[in-house]
Amino acid sequence: MGKKDAAGVSSDTQPLLEKSSTKKRLSFDLTDHVAKRQRIEERTDHTRWRMRDDKGRQSWVYLEDDQALKDWPQSFADKYFLGLPVNAPDLPKPTNPLDAVRNGLEFFEKLQLPSGHWGCEYGGPMFLLPCIVIAWYVTKTPIPWYYATEIKNYLFARANPEDGGWGLHIEGETSVFGTSLNYTVLRIVGVDADHPVMVKARATLHKMGGATHAPHWAKWWLAVMGVAQWDIVNPTPPELWLLPDWVPIAPWRWWIHIRQVFLPMSYLWSKRWQAEETALIRSLRQELFVEDWAKINWASHRNTINPRDNYHPKTWVLNTVNWCLVNIWNPVLRTQAIAKKGEEWAMKLIEMENENTDHADLATVSGPMNTVCLYVKEGPDSYAVRRHRERAHEFLWMKDEGLLANGTNGVQCWDTAFAIQAVMDAGLTEDPRWRPMLMKALEFLDDQQIRENVKDQDKCYRQQRKGGWAFSNKDQGYAVSDCVSEALKSVIILQKTPGFPTLIDDRRIFDAIDTLLTYQNPSGGCSSYEPPRAGTWMEVLNAAEVFGNIMVEYEYPECTTAVVTALSLFRKHWPEYRTKEIERFIERAVKWIKTAQKPHGGWYGSWGICFTYATMFALESLASIGETYKNSDYAKRGCDFLISKQREDGGWSEHYRACETGEYIEHPSGSQVVMTAWAVIALMKADYPNLEHIKKGIKLIMDRQQSNGEWLQEAIEGVFNKSCMISYPNYKFTFTLKALGMFARKYPNETVV
C-alpha cells in the first residue's frame, strides 16, 4: 500500500530500506532540529484521521491532502475511535437477553477492522508516551505537527484537574514519575514553559521534590536526555548478562518484560550516553528541579524518591547490592574489558530481539529504549533505526482526547478470540447473519498463528512458541499461555461449526497444544509468557519502585483457567492426542486453582480488576471438572464471595485499588457493566442456584445498553504489576455479550425485563 502522510513520514510498515528517497527523507540535521521550533497547533481536524489496518498492524494516518481525503473515506470504526458521531441507527428495544446480544453484535460488527480483528485504544499507563517521545527526541526523529498537536491535547486532557500533574496511570494520583516525564514530553512537542498548564504542573512537581525524587526509570530517561546526570541512576550493569545460566539471579530468569527493559537500560547506562545538548535540554535542567542544577549532588539522590512513587520500596538487599556496585564494583573492579563484553552481549541480544520481531519489540518501553541503543551503536540512518522509527507508529492511538501510547502494538488476537466466544456463548455461530463477521475473524486468527519458533531460541532465552498466538499480532510474536488458549478455543469452536472451513489443520492445532503443554509450572498453575525461571524471592531485586510482582513469572488463575478450558475443549475433539498428559495437566492445574483461593472465597486477579475478574476464571476452571456450587466447597465459597459484593442495583463495582492493596474495594462511581458481566458469568459457570441475583445483574447490563446496541465506556478494567491500570475498551462488548448470551442459553425460559 505504501501510503504516505502529508508530512512525508511513511506510515508504511514494510521495510523502506530499498527505497532510495528514504534516507533523505528520514535523515535529520541537528542544527535544524534545535533551531526549528516544533510546529504545534490548537487541534487537528479529526475528520482527517484514519486507522490503517495492514494485516493486523495498526497505525493512525493523518491525511493532509484533500484528494487523499476523498480517496480514503473515514470508516465507521475510525469515527467511533475518534469519538465522532457514528449515527448508528436505533434498534428495536430488546425484550430478552438474546435480542440484546443481537443488538450488541449489530454495533460491534461495525467495529471489525478489514483484516478481521477488533482494534481499540490500549492506554492507561502514563509512562509509555514519554518513552516514545523522548526516544524520538534524542534520536532526532522529526515529530509531525499533527502528532505533536494531539500529544499535547491528550496530555492536557489527562492532567489532574486539581494539581495539574500526571500519575502512573490515567486514574492514578499525581506522581513524580508521571509528572516529570509528561512535562518533558509537552516541552518536546513544543509547549512553552510559561503556558498555564505547564506552570501548574511544574509547581506540583516542585512540591513533590522535583525530578530528583523520581523513580529509577524516569531518572534513567532524564539521564539519557542529559537533563539529569548519570550518577543519579542506580546501576544496571550489562555484565549481569554474562553470568552463567546456572546463577540463580541471572537475568534470563527474570520476567520477560523486566529483562527486556533491563537490556537496553544496561547498555546505555554502561555507555553513560547522553543526547546532544540543546536549548530545550538546558531549559529542562532549570524547569524540572527544585535545586540549582549545577549544584545538585546527583549521587546522593540515587535513592531519593517521593512516597507516592514508592509502591515497592527497594529492599535492604538491593540497596546493599547497589551500594557495592557504586562504591566497589564500578570504581575498582569493573575493567574496561568486562564492560565492553557486557555491552557487546547486551547489544547482541537487542539485535536478536529486533530480528525476531522485525523491530516491533516486545512492548512500549523496551522498543523505544532499543531504538536509542541502535542509534548510539549504528548512527541515525541505519536500517535498524529507521525500521524502529516506522514501527513506533504502531504503538500510538488517536482518540477524541488526542494521541496516546498503547501498552502493546494492539490487542488484536486477544479481543478477536473473545468476540468469537461471545457469539458462541449466545449460540449464534450457526446464524448466517454473523457468518461473514466470524469468517473474517477466523481468517485473522489463521493468519496470525505463529508458525515457527524464534531462531536460536535458547540463545536469546525465548520460550517455545510454535503454533501459538500473541496478545497483539504475530509480528510481535510473543506467545502467552492464555492468548494461545483463547485463540485456540475460538478456532476450534468455529472450525467445528457446520459451514465453517478448516483453515487450521490438525497439525497446526497440535502445535498449539504442544506449546501449551510447556506452560505448566511445578505447582500446577500457569504463568503468562514462560514458566517461572526463578523463585519469587527474586522480588528483593525489584529496582523499579513503582511496580510490584515484576521480577519473575507468577502463577495466575486467569492464565491457568484459559489453558485448562482450551485443553478440555481440545480433548473433546481429539481424545487420542497426548491424552494422559492433558488429563494430568488439567487435574494439577485445577488443584492449583484451589490452593490460590483467598480466605474470603475470591481469587486475586493480576490482569483485570481484580477479585471479580480472577474469580470468574477460577469458577470456570472448577466448572470444567464438574465442580459447582452444589458439590464443591471451593465453588460455593467463590459464589458466596461474589454475592456478598453485589450492589443494591444488581451490579458489581470493584475499584482498581484492590489490585494494589489485595483487599476488595468498591468503586465510588457505582456498578460497572464489565465487572457485572464478569460476576454473572462466574455465577452462571458455578450454577449458582438463586437466579434472582443473576437476573438482577443481567438486567443491569441490559439497562445500560444504548438504543444503538453499544455500551458506553466506564471505569478502567485492566491492570499489570499490581499498581498500573490499563484499558480494555472492547471488554464492554465482549464480556457483556458473553454474559447475556450465556444467560439466554442456560435459562431460555427466564424473563428479565
Between 418 and 743, whose beta carbon lies closer to ligand LAN?
Answer: 418
Residues 171-200 contacting ligand LAN, CB under 6 A:
none
Site for ligand LAN (CB under 6 A): which residue of 266, 561, 672, 721?
Answer: 721
- Return left, alpha or beta for 257; rule: phi > 0 is left, psi -120 to 50 is alpha, else beta: alpha
Is 222 a binding residue for ligand LAN by CB under 6 A? The answer is no
User: Minimum distance between the CB of residue 483 and ligand LAN, rounded to whole angstroms?
Assistant: 5
User: Minimum distance between the CB of residue 482 and ligand LAN, rounded to whole angstroms?
Assistant: 5
User: Minimum distance between the CB of residue 127 and ligand LAN, rounded to whole angstroms?
Assistant: 8
Is 394 a binding residue for ligand LAN by CB under 6 A? The answer is no
Which has the closest alpha carbon to 198: 211, 222, 180?
A: 180
Between 593 and 698, whose beta carbon lies closer to ligand LAN?
Answer: 593
Binding range to ligand LAN, per CB under 6 A, among 78-86, 187-195, 612-620, 718-726: 718-726
Which has the closest alpha carbon to 731: 113, 171, 108?
A: 108
User: Total residues contacting ligand LAN (rule CB under 6 A)?
Assistant: 20
The helix or strand, by DSSP H or E, that contains position 566, with its residue range, turns out to be helix 557-573
First-to-last alpha carbon distance for the chain, in angstroms, is: 50
Is 483 a binding residue for ligand LAN by CB under 6 A? The answer is yes
Buried-exposed string 179-214: b where 16+ CB fall within 10 A, e elsewhere: bbbbbbbbbbbbbeeeeebbebbbebbeebbbbbbb
Alpha-carbon distance of 158 to 405, in angstroms, equals: 13
Residues 509-568 contacting ligand LAN, CB under 6 A:
528, 547, 558-559
Between 695 and 738, whose beta carbon lies closer to ligand LAN?
Answer: 738
Site for ligand LAN (CB under 6 A): which residue of 117, 257, 359, 636?
Answer: 257
- The total number of residues shown for the chain amounts to 753
Grid coordinates belonging to 278: 540543546
Alpha-carbon distance of 176 to 181, in angstroms, equals: 8
Between 222 and 487, whose beta carbon lies closer to ligand LAN?
Answer: 487
Between 12 and 353, whose beta carbon lies closer to ligand LAN?
Answer: 353
Site for ligand LAN (CB under 6 A): which residue of 185, 261, 509, 569?
Answer: 261
User: Minimum distance between the CB of residue 275 and ligand LAN, rounded to whole angstroms?
Assistant: 22
User: Minimum distance between the CB of residue 435 and ligand LAN, rounded to whole angstroms?
Assistant: 28
Which residues are paired to 672 by β-bridges? 652
Grid coordinates belonging to 127: 509512562
Q: Is residue 358 flagged as an active site residue?
A: no
Q: What Cα–Cα distance (Å) separates residue 375 from each residue in 217, 303, 361, 378, 379?
A: 20, 29, 15, 5, 5
Is 473 a binding residue for ligand LAN by CB under 6 A? The answer is no
Is 731 a binding residue for ligand LAN by CB under 6 A? The answer is no
Alpha-carbon distance of 271 to 237, in angstroms, equals: 10
Is 678 a binding residue for ligand LAN by CB under 6 A? The answer is no
- 730: exposed, middle or buried (C-beta count within 10 Å: 0-12, 13-18, 19+)? buried
Is 482 a binding residue for ligand LAN by CB under 6 A? The answer is yes
Alpha-carbon distance of 347 to 709, in angstroms, equals: 51
Binding range to ligand LAN, per CB under 6 A, among 147-155, 315-323, 475-483, 580-588: 475-483
Which has the closest alpha carbon to 718: 731, 735, 736?
A: 731
Is 365 a binding residue for ligand LAN by CB under 6 A? The answer is yes
User: Minimum distance between the CB of residue 741 and ligand LAN, rounded to whole angstroms?
Assistant: 21
Site for ligand LAN (CB under 6 A): which residue of 607, 688, 731, 733?
Answer: 607
The 8-class DSSP code of residue 62 comes to: E
3-state helix, strand, coil in the chain (%, to 5): 50, 5, 40
DSSP 596-638: T--TTS----SSBSSHHHHHHHHHHHHHHTT--TTT-HHHHHH
Site for ligand LAN (CB under 6 A): which residue of 38, 139, 408, 628?
Answer: 408
Any residues with CB less than 8 A from the CB of 289 and at least 6 apart, and which?
Answer: 210, 211, 212, 296
Which has the closest alpha carbon to 52: 5, 107, 17?
A: 5
User: Minimum distance between the CB of residue 366 and ligand LAN, rounded to whole angstroms?
Assistant: 7
Site for ligand LAN (CB under 6 A): which residue of 240, 726, 742, 744?
Answer: 726
Between 82 and 614, whose beta carbon lies closer to ligand LAN?
Answer: 614
Alpha-carbon distance of 555 to 522, in angstroms, equals: 10
Is 616 a binding residue for ligand LAN by CB under 6 A? The answer is no
Active-site pick, 5, 12, 482, 511: 482
Binding range to ligand LAN, per CB under 6 A, among 176-184, 362-370, 376-384, 695-703: 362-370
Q: Which residues bind ligand LAN (CB under 6 A)?
A: 257, 261, 363-365, 407-408, 414, 471, 480, 482-483, 528, 547, 558-559, 607, 720-721, 726
Residues known to be catalytic: 482
